[in-house]
Amino acid sequence: MGTRKVLVTGGGSGIGLAVAEVLLRAGGQVALSARRAARLEAVVRAWPGQAVALPCDLSSPSERAGLLARAREALGGLDGLVHSAGVVEHQPPGHISEEALRAQLEINLVAPLRLGEEALSVLEDGGGMVFISSTLAMRPLTTSAAYSAAKAGMLAAMRSLALAGAARRIRANAVCPGVVDTEMVRAPRLNPGEPPPEAEELERRVSAQLSTLGALHPLGRLGKPEEVADAVVHLLAAPWTTGSELVIDGGLLLRE
C-alpha cells in the first residue's frame, strides 16, 4: 500500500469508516474526523497505536482550519486525505430551506475545497486525496438541487486541485457512488412538512425505501460501504491517476 498515513473525514460511520478500516487492516495509520467524538474514539480503541481521533465540525471554518496539520502532527506525517463527510437533505424546488442549502454547500463543497487546499501544502510529495462525490452530481433528482450542485462543484474543485498538486506528484481524484447502504440512506425521506412517523411505521417505510432504491440499480441492490472503500484506497495510491472520477454505482447511470 503506497499511502499509509491518512486523514479520513466522516471516519466514524458509513463509507468513511469502511475506508479507515481498509487502511488500518493493511497496517496504515489513520486520523479520523467528524462531529460525534464517541464514534471516533471507538475506532481508536479498536486499533490502538494506529488510529487517532480529531473530532471537529467541518462546516465551521475555524474548527476545520489547520486540520491536516493536526493530523500530520498526530501521525508523524501525512500522505493521504479522504473527504467522506457529507450531508444530504432532499427538498424539492420551492421548499429548499436556506439552512439546508447552506449546510449542504458548506460540508459537501466548501469544506473539501478548503481541506484540499491545505492538503497541497501539508501532504508529502506523491500523496493522494480522494473526495466522495455522488452519481447525483451527474444525474440529479427533483429533490437534490442543493446536494447535486455541491457534489458537482466538488468534482470541479477536485480537478483544479489535481492540476495544482501535479508538480509535487500530489494526486486528487473522486468517486461517485450510487446508493450505498449507510445511515444517510436509512434516514426516512419525508414529504415537506410531514412529521416523522411512529417507530413501527418508520421501520416499514425505511425498509420499503431501501428496496425501492436497491431496485433502481441494474445490478439489483444497494452498494456496500466496503465496495466504495476498496476503490477509494486504490485511488489514494494510484501513481498515474489524477483528476479522475470513478463511478461505482451498480450500473445506476446506465439507466435511461
Ligand X SMILES: NC(=O)c1ccc[n+]([C@@H]2O[C@H](COP(=O)([O-])OP(=O)(O)OC[C@H]3O[C@@H](n4cnc5c(N)ncnc54)[C@H](OP(=O)(O)O)[C@@H]3O)[C@@H](O)[C@H]2O)c1
Contact positions with ligand X (CB under 6 A) in 16-35: 16, 34-35
Judged by CB under 6 A, does residue 180 bind ligand X? yes
**Closest residue by Cα to residue 21 from 41, 50, 49:** 50
Nearest-approach distance from CB 254 to ligand X, in angstroms? 16
Nearer to ligand X, 29 or 182 (CB): 182
Which residues between 42 and 81 bind ligand X (CB under 6 A)? Answer: 57-59
81 with 16: CB under 8 angstroms? no
78: Cβ contacts below 8 Å, ≥ 6 apart: 5, 6, 7, 31, 68, 71, 72, 122, 123, 124, 127
One residue of 5, 6, 7, 10 binding ligand X per CB under 6 A: 10
- Classify the phi-psi angles of 77: left when phi > 0, otherwise alpha if psi is within -120 to 50, otherwise beta: left
Q: What share of the chain is helix, strand, coil (3-state, %, to 5)?
A: 50, 15, 40
Tell me which of 7, 110, 144, 147 is the catalytic residue.
Answer: 147
CB nearer to ligand X: pick between 124 and 216: 216
Binding ligand X (rule: CB under 6 A), the pick from 82, 185, 237, 252 is: 185
Position 63, amino acid:
E
Interface with ligand X includes 173 (CB under 6 A)?
no
Least distance to ligand X, CB of residue 126, Å: 25
Whether 111 is catalytic is no
Strand 51-53: give its sheet, edge to edge.
51-53, 29-33, 5-9, 80-83, 128-132, 171-177, 245-248
Give the CA radius of gyration of the chain: 18
* Residue 87 touches ligand X, criterion: CB under 6 A: yes
Residues 187-206 binding ligand X (CB under 6 A) are: none
Which residues carry out catalysis?
147
Which residues of this chain interact with ligand X, rule CB under 6 A?
10, 12-16, 34-36, 39, 57-59, 84-88, 107, 132, 134, 177, 179-180, 182-185
